Amino acid sequence: MADEKTVIMDGAGVKRALTRISHEILERNKGLTNVVLIGIRSGGAFLATEIGTTLALIEGEKATVGAVDITLYRDDVSGQMPHLPVGKTEIPFSLEGKKVILVDDVLFTGRTIRAAMDALMDHGRPDSIQLAVLIDRGHRELPIRADFVGRNVPTSLRENVQVIFDSANTPVEVILEK
């Protein structure tokens, strides 16, 4: 599968996309009041931290950032042999009345987002959930769309899109594998 690798976005490109998404988030929500960022483990959680840092730079106030692990909410748990390792969900604040920005690296079938929304609902009743993704590669299997998109990348089902992070969890590039 990984015969051919193409870099479709480099580190600077990722940074620009995240900066634009940050501005869009602020514009849509009129600032950071009641806004919380929650990243989906593992890529989305790293990106949420990046966006949080950018938001703090623009607005001059700290953004609240959490992480959600969706393993226990997957719709294919009973098909997984052996069961996947369970990561840590870190939402040490209430979601009641919050505007949640859910962050993921690649939006594909939409099943991960469905699972993440179910997980968030179990933590309380947010005012709204908005979705921010770095890459939207299409092929949705559920009625889900993103509010903030870094780049739309048309792909075939045989291809694979991956966001690569370095050891400090900073995104370095996005690759397309054929």
Partner 1 sequence: MAEFKHKDIIALRDLTKEDIERLLTTAENMREINSRDIKKVPTLRGKTIINLFYESSTRTRTSFEIAGKRLSADTVNITPSSSSATKGETLADTALNLLAMKPDIIVMRHAVSGSHYFLSKKLPGCSIINAGDGTHEHPSQGLLDMLTMKDRFGKLDGLKVAIIGDITHSRVARSNIQGLTKLGSQIFLAGPPTMMPPGVELLGNVTVCGTMKEAIQDADVVMMLRIQQERQGKTLMPNAREYSRYFGLNPENIKLAKPDAIVMHPGPINRGVEMSSYVVDGDQSHVLKQVENGVAVRMAMLYHVCGGELE
What is the binding site for partner 1 (CB under 8 A)?
69, 72-73, 77-78, 80-90, 118-119, 122-124
We find the least distance from the C-beta atom of residue 61 to partner 1, in angstroms, to be 27
We find the least distance from the C-beta atom of residue 127 to partner 1, in angstroms, to be 17
Rank residues 21 and 115 by Cβ distance to partner 1 and give the closer one.
115
Going through the chain in order, the beta strands assigned E by DSSP cover: 5-10, 35-40, 64-68, 99-107, 128-136, 148-152, 160-165, 171-177
Strand order in the sheet with 171-177: 5-10, 171-177, 160-165
Rank residues 125 and 178 by Cβ distance to partner 1 and give the closer one.
125
Rank residues 79 and 154 by Cβ distance to partner 1 and give the closer one.
79
Give the side-chain half-sphere CA count within 13 A for 161: 24
Rank residues 87 and 138 by Cβ distance to partner 1 and give the closer one.
87
We find the least distance from the C-beta atom of residue 95 to partner 1, in angstroms, to be 10
